[in-house]
Structure 1
């Protein structure tokens, strides 16, 4: 079976990197994730990644405890760079060529984000990791993922989560929660479904970038998604 998506933007939450831990980075989860990414790169898929920093520091939570919101957000951006470097190390241990590009310049450890350079790296088969969000406070890494997906002309935005799709309610709290296999962008925004924040969903809608929400912890799921198999939940435009 061939691939459905040639160029993908994978959005990883910082919390995903915790694995079974309550804080920080789980090396075993990173290793397995790197192997999953390698399997799709070997299929010829161009992979870009936006990573969060919630396993280390969340700007919003810092702001609620009295810290200046902009300062807290910048601290959160630095946390994403720590995660980006950890993921880069794991990928390179799997013999993958990688580049970390940051929205906040820090030349000693990463390249500054330049759109054309990012696209060129992808064309050469390198895995590109985008760190530091958008480089601006008050924007989430979900919005950064949608923005970068649009900038690099990604075929799809893959939202990697701990659940196997979008539900009518939190499946861990509500046994009657039903899985929604397909939704439109408008349904997500209008009904306030917490897939990604509304700015991110709106960006995807404007640029017609489908969003697939899937469980990244299950082995083989990433490969199934890029091959177009029906797993997780798909958010796209209205069916004509």
Structure 2
């Protein structure tokens, strides 16, 4: 395996599948199957998942909700997705631990760095929910921070697009894909990969990011074995 320990970042919107809202059980099962393949290879897996399929804090202000309140609502949305993913993984025979940035003891453990690393070493999949527990930080920032804290080898950002392009490929047919690109180039070309806080954290800690299509069967397995899938962002 090219990577011994990975941080997989999944978007909440991706869980909608063909639905307009909520969680698509078919997509959820697909993700569980893909993660199991990698787990069976002996890779240590941590996961951060967004909550955009349920609620986004940045949209709260438009409906008159205080931004801080809205961000906490968004954190709870990520926990709902994390619990759904945890259930799907355990039904597939995997051992998991859900750790939260907000204390909800009856549902999950609070995040403690050493405990998270120990869970990974024991072969458990660790899911990080509720962001970092503070408003104004996205789940991208959570993924970058947690990856650094648990000493992950890479951040794998699973999206519905198969990499980083010169423009939005869903809007611009002439957009071309980058196979490899540096952090500096992403800055200079103003490419939308992650929010700036998350991206800067990865750059300053020399943590590579791979953006890839999580919805294509086998992509995650190929990545951890070293195949060139998606776009690799490095120093």
For 1:235 and 1:63, how far apart are their aligned partners in 2? 33
1:183 maps to what in 2? Answer: 181
1:10 maps to what in 2? Answer: 8
- TM-score, normalised by the number of residues in structure 1: 0.97
2:198 maps to what in 1? Answer: 200
Aligned CA RMSD, in angstroms, stands at: 0.7
SS at match of 1:193: coil
1:42 maps to what in 2? Answer: 40
Distance apart, 1:140 and its partner CA: 0.5
SS at match of 1:104: coil
Is 1:69 paired with 2:77? no
1:154 maps to what in 2? Answer: 152
Unaligned runs of 5+ residues in structure 1 are: none
For 2:191 and 2:132, how far apart are their aligned partners in 1? 23
CA deviation map 1:175-223 (0-9, x unaligned): 1000011111111123221110111111001111100000000000000
- TM-score, normalised by the number of residues in structure 2: 0.99
Distance apart, 1:65 and its partner CA: 2.7
Spell out structure 1 runs of 4+ moving beyond 6 A: none
Is 1:93 paired with 2:91? yes
SS at match of 2:171: coil
SS at match of 1:183: strand
Aligned pairs for 1:166-181 within 5 A: 166-181=164-179
Match of 2:54 among 53, 56, 59: 56
Q: How many pairs are equivalent?
A: 235
Unaligned runs of 5+ residues in structure 2 are: none
